[in-house]
């Protein structure tokens, strides 16, 4: 894909994703509460969107602050976030994160990548989501969909998510940074799947290099 085609691609993606429900973390981001974005993102790791949504709602109905979650007994917290994948590990992680927020940050979520990455369980994907969705600051969140589709388009040529983030920071127009994940996640879930993507239904197929696509519909 030629670099200048990114503008047409973004416009097409914006139109297409209107038909689909936004990701669970995106819905929670409408609260404009960085803490809720952080917790729901940690719950979402390796977990289907519908489960993340249900687990987040159940937890936040009981506790919505670092102090409140830290005070919940681990066994009860596990039940609240079940059946999120690795719910026992995530329960311990949530309690540790909340304790550190209280001890180091006065109960507030830090608004820098560096500080967020010091929290257990927080990688670059989670940190960038909190920065963009929680604080409305520029960042590029790269998950499996963003990495796959950016490479499939031929817009970048990278081997892993960290390389993709660096490549996108270098060439993606900054005005698209904050929405890029919101565009590509539902697109990857519903149309541009890892195996046998729906190229016949894709509005950006004419720009796509289809890198690595062995079979398509």
Tell me the Cα Rg of the chain: 18
Q: How far apart are CA 79 and CA 55, in angstroms?
A: 9
Residue 143 backbone phi and psi in degrees, to 5: -110, -165
What residues are annotated to the active site?
125, 143
Which two three-digit tokens encode residue 188?
């990857």
Which two three-digit tokens encode residue 199?
């190229």
Q: Of 65, 35, 59, which is closest to residue 135 (Cα–Cα)? A: 35
Per DSSP, the residues of 131-177 read: IIIIH--------HHHHHHHHHHTS---SSHHHHHHHHHHHS-GGGH
Residues 6+ apart with CB under 8 A from 43: 52, 55, 56, 59, 81, 84, 90
SS3 content of the chain, % helix, strand, coil (to 5): 60, 0, 40
Q: Contact 158/167 with Cβ under 8 angstroms?
A: yes
Count CB neighbours of 62 within 10 A: 12
Which two three-digit tokens encode residue 111?
């608004």
């Amino acid at each position: 894909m030629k670099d200048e085609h990114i503008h047409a691609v973004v416009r097409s993606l914006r139109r297409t994703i209107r038909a689909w429900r936004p990701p669970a973390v995106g819905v929670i981001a409408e609260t404009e509460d960085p803490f809720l974005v952080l917790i729901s993102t940690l719950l979402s790791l390796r977990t289907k969107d519908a489960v993340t949504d249900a687990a987040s709602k159940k937890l936040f109905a009981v506790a919505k602050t670092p102090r409140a979650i830290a005070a919940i007994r681990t066994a009860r917290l596990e039940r609240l976030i079940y059946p999120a994948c690795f719910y026992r590990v995530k329960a311990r992680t949530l309690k540790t994160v909340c304790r550190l927020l209280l001890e180091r940050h006065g109960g507030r979520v830090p608004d820098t990548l560096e500080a967020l990455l010091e929290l257990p369980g927080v990688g670059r994907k989670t940190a960038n989501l909190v920065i963009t969705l929680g604080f409305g600051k520029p960042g590029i969140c790269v998950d499996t969909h963003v990495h796959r589709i950016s490479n499939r388009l031929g817009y970048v040529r990278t081997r892993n998510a960290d390389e993709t983030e660096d490549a996108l920071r270098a060439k993606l127009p900054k005005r698209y940074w904050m929405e890029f994940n919101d565009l590509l996640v539902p697109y990857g879930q519903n149309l541009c799947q890892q195996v046998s993507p729906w190229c016949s239904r894709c509005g950006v197929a004419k720009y796509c290099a289809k890198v690595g696509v062995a079979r398509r519909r």
